[in-house]
C-alpha cells in the first residue's frame, strides 16, 4: 500500500509540470466542451483526475461529466495529455466512482476499473481495457474485476472542473 501511495504522489507532483490541486489544467475545459459539439458556451460540469495512463510522461485526464448523470451513472471521457492541451481518446457511458488504474497494460494503456450499478446491473468493478484505439463504450458489458485486480489498482482522486 505504501508503494502505491508513493507512485501516486510522484505522478501528481512531477508529471507534465502541472501542480497538484492547482485547478483545471490548460485546455481541459475546452476539450470537454468540444465533446458537446460546441453547443455550449462553457464546459458542462465535470470532475477530473490526472494520471499518466499511457506511460508517456504526460498526464492524461479521466473526466466524469457530472451534470449528465442518470440512474446508471455518468458519462466518462478519457483525454490524452499533449503539449497543447488534451485530445479525446474515448467516451464511455454509465460510469461511477470509484475509478481505479490498474498496473495492467493493454496496447500501451493502463486498464481502468470502474464501478457499475443501477438499472438492474450487478454492482461492482469492471475492467475497461484499451483496444488499441479506445476504451469500451459501455462498462456494464465488460468483464468483472477480481478482488486481486481491485486490490492492485490505485483509486483516482477527482477534482471539480468547470461549472456552467
Antiparallel, parallel or unpaired: β 124-128 and 109-116: antiparallel
Q: What is the DSSP letter of 142?
A: S
Per-residue pLDDT at 85: 92
Is residue 17 pLDDT above 50, yes or no? Answer: no
Q: Is 65 within 8 Å of 79 (Cβ atoms)?
A: no
pTM for the model: 0.83
Per-residue pLDDT at 162: 66
Per-residue pLDDT at 121: 85
Tens digits of residue pLDDT in 31-44: 998 886 655 566 68
CA distance 26 to 24: 7
Amino acid at each position: 500500500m505504501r508503494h502505491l501511495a508513493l507512485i501516486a504522489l510522484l505522478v501528481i507532483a512531477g508529471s507534465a509540470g502541472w501542480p497538484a490541486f492547482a485547478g483545471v489544467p490548460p485546455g481541459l475545459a475546452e476539450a470537454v466542451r468540444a465533446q458537446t459539439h460546441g453547443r455550449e458556451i462553457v464546459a458542462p460540469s465535470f470532475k477530473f483526475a490526472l494520471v499518466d495512463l499511457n506511460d508517456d510522461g504526460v498526464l492524461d485526464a479521466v473526466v466524469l461529466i457530472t451534470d449528465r448523470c442518470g440512474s446508471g451513472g455518468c458519462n466518462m471521457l478519457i483525454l490524452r495529455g499533449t503539449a497543447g492541451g488534451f485530445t479525446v481518446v474515448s467516451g464511455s457511458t454509465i460510469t461511477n466512482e470509484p475509478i481505479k488504474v490498474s498496473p495492467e497494460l493493454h496496447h500501451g494503456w493502463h486498464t481502468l476499473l470502474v464501478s457499475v450499478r443501477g438499472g438492474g446491473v450487478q454492482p461492482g468493478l469492471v475492467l475497461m481495457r484499451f483496444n488499441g484505439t479506445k476504451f469500451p463504450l459501455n462498462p456494464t458489458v465488460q468483464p468483472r474485476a477480481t478482488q486481486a485486480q481491485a486490490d492492485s489498482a490505485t483509486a483516482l482522486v477527482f477534482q471539480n472542473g468547470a461549472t456552467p
